[in-house]
Structure 1
Amino acid sequence: MSWIGELLRAHPEIALFLALSIGYAVGQIKFGPIQLGGICGTLIAALFIGQLGVTLPSSVKNVFFMLFIFALGYAGGPQFFANLNAKGLRIGLLCLIEVVVVLALVLAATRFMGLDQGTAAGLMAGAATESAVVGTATDAISKLALPPDQIKQLQANVVTAYSITYIFGLITIVVVTSQVFPLILRINLREEADKLWKAMGGSADDESATPAVPEMVGRVYTITAGAGLPVRNVTAHLRFNGSVQGLMRHGQPIAFSPGTPLEADDHLLVVGHRKAVLEWAHANADLGHEMEDASEFDVVLDTADVVFNHPAAGTMTLRGLHLGSAPGVPAPLPEGVLVADIERGGQRLPLLPELKLERGDRLKLYGRAEDIAMALPRIGESVMKSTRSNIALASAGIVLGVWIGLYSVKLGGIPFSLGTGGGALLSGLVFGWYQAKHPSRLSVPHDALNLLKDLGLSTFIACVGLASGPSAMELIMKYGISLPLMGVAIAVIPATVSLFVGRYLLKFEAPVLLGAIAGQQCSTPALSAIQAVAGNTTPLLGYTITYAISNVVLPLMGPLIVALAGLVRAH
Structure 2
Amino acid sequence: MFGPLVEILRNSPEIALFLVLCIGYAIGQIRFGPIQLGGICGTLIAALVVGQLGIRLDDSVKNVFFMLFIFALGYAGGPQFFANLDAKGLRLGLLCVVEVVAVLALVLAATVLLSLDQGTAAGLMAGAATESAVVGTATDAISKLSLSPADIAQLQANVVTAYSITYVFGLIAIVVVTSQVFPLLLRVDLRAEADKLWKTMGGGADDPAAASATPEMVGRVFRVTVGRGRSVGELTAILGRQASIERVVRNGQSLAVEPDLHLRVGDRVLAIGRRSALVNVGELLGQEFADTTAFDTVVETTEVVANRREWFGRGLQALEAVLPTTVQVVGVARDGHAMPLLNDLTLQRGDVLKLYGPAPDVATAIAQVGDRVIASTRSNISFAATGILLGVFIGSFSAKIGGIPFSLGTGGGALLTGLAFGWYQSKHPHRLSVPADALALMKDLGLATFIACVGLASGPQALALVQKFGIALPLVGIAVAVVPASISLFVGHRLLRLEAPVLLGAIAGQQCSTPALSAVQNAAGNATPLLGYTITYAISNVVLPLMGPLIVALAGLVHHTT
Q: What do residues 433-455 of structure 1 show as CA deviations (whole Å, max 9, x unaligned)? A: 00000110001000110000000
Structure-1 separation of matches of 2:232 and 2:395:
61
Identity %: 67
1:498 has 2:499 as partner: no
Q: Which residue of structure 2 lines up, in the alignment, with residue 338 of structure 1?
A: 328
Structure-2 separation of matches of 1:191 and 1:505:
22
Structure-2 separation of matches of 1:317 and 1:28:
38
Contact preservation (8 Å) 2:214, 2:331: no
1:348 has 2:338 as partner: yes
Which amino acid counterpart does residue 409 of structure 2 have in structure 1?
Answer: G
Which amino acid counterpart does residue 83 of structure 1 have in structure 2?
Answer: N
Using the size of structure 2 for normalisation, the TM-score is 0.97
Which SS does the other structure have where 1:256 is aligned? coil
Which amino acid counterpart does residue 246 of structure 1 have in structure 2?
Answer: R
Structure-2 separation of matches of 1:48 and 1:525:
25
1:248-263 map, 5 Å: 248-263=249-264
1:20-99 map, 5 Å: 20-99=21-100
Q: Which residue of structure 2 lines up, in the alignment, with residue 474 of structure 1?
A: 464
Which amino acid counterpart does residue 515 of structure 2 have in structure 1?
Answer: P
Contact preservation (8 Å) 2:241, 2:325: no
Which amino acid counterpart does residue 160 of structure 1 have in structure 2?
Answer: T
Compute the displacement of 1:364 (Å): 1.5
1:467-546 map, 5 Å: 467-546=457-536
Distance 1:242 1:175, change over 3 A: same
Which amino acid counterpart does residue 555 of structure 1 have in structure 2?
Answer: P
Compute the displacement of 1:503 (Å): 0.9
Structure-1 separation of matches of 2:213 and 2:36:
27
1:416 to 406, 414, 420: 406
2:316 to 318, 339, 345: 318
Compute the displacement of 1:253 (Å): 1.6
Q: Which residue of structure 1 lines up, in the alignment, with residue 15 of structure 2?
A: 14
Structure-2 separation of matches of 1:564 and 1:233:
69
Contact preservation (8 Å) 1:220, 1:294: yes
Contact preservation (8 Å) 2:224, 2:287: yes
1:296 has 2:303 as partner: no
Q: Which residue of structure 2 lines up, in the alignment, with residue 146 of structure 1?
A: 147
Structure-2 separation of matches of 1:110 and 1:302:
58
Contact preservation (8 Å) 1:241, 1:339: no
1:85-124 map, 5 Å: 85-124=86-125
Which amino acid counterpart does residue 136 of structure 1 have in structure 2?
Answer: T
Distance 1:286 1:217, change over 3 A: closer
Q: Which residue of structure 2 lines up, in the alignment, with residue 567 of structure 1?
A: 557
Which SS does the other structure have where 1:335 is aligned? coil
Structure-1 separation of matches of 2:342 and 2:25:
36
Compute the displacement of 1:210 (Å): 7.0
1:144-183 map, 5 Å: 144-183=145-184
Which SS does the other structure have where 1:543 is aligned? helix
Compute the displacement of 1:250 (Å): 2.0
Q: Which residue of structure 2 lines up, in the alignment, with residue 135 of structure 1?
A: 136
Structure-2 separation of matches of 1:438 and 1:211:
28
Q: Which residue of structure 2 lines up, in the alignment, with residue 389 of structure 1?
A: 379
Compute the displacement of 1:83 (Å): 0.4
Compute the displacement of 1:84 (Å): 0.5
1:241 has 2:239 as partner: no
Q: What do residues 113-165 of structure 1 show as CA deviations (whole Å, max 9, x unaligned)? A: 10000000000000000000000000000000000000000000000000000
Structure-1 separation of matches of 2:376 and 2:386:
20
Compute the displacement of 1:380 (Å): 1.2
Q: What do residues 197-227 of structure 1 show as CA deviations (whole Å, max 9, x unaligned)? A: 0011111113132789982211112222222
Contact preservation (8 Å) 2:28, 2:40: yes
1:227 has 2:228 as partner: yes
Unaligned runs of 5+ in 2: none
> Which segment is superposed worse, 199-208 or 233-242?
233-242
Structure-2 separation of matches of 1:385 and 1:123:
41
Q: Which runs of 4+ in 1 moved over 6 A?
A: 210-214
Distance 1:213 1:76, change over 3 A: closer
Using the size of structure 1 for normalisation, the TM-score is 0.96
Which amino acid counterpart does residue 234 of structure 1 have in structure 2?
Answer: L
1:375 to 345, 365, 387: 365
Pairs aligned (count)? 560
Structure-2 separation of matches of 1:408 and 1:276:
61
Structure-2 separation of matches of 1:98 and 1:211:
29
Which amino acid counterpart does residue 226 of structure 2 have in structure 1?
Answer: A
Which amino acid counterpart does residue 475 of structure 2 have in structure 1?
Answer: L
Which amino acid counterpart does residue 386 of structure 1 have in structure 2?
Answer: S
Contact preservation (8 Å) 1:119, 1:154: yes
Structure-2 separation of matches of 1:549 and 1:51:
37
Which amino acid counterpart does residue 94 of structure 1 have in structure 2?
Answer: L
1:361 has 2:362 as partner: no
Which amino acid counterpart does residue 481 of structure 2 have in structure 1?
Answer: A
Distance 1:135 1:112, change over 3 A: same
Which SS does the other structure have where 2:287 is aligned? strand
Which SS does the other structure have where 1:312 is aligned? helix
Distance 1:313 1:111, change over 3 A: farther
Q: What's the Cα RMSD here? A: 1.5
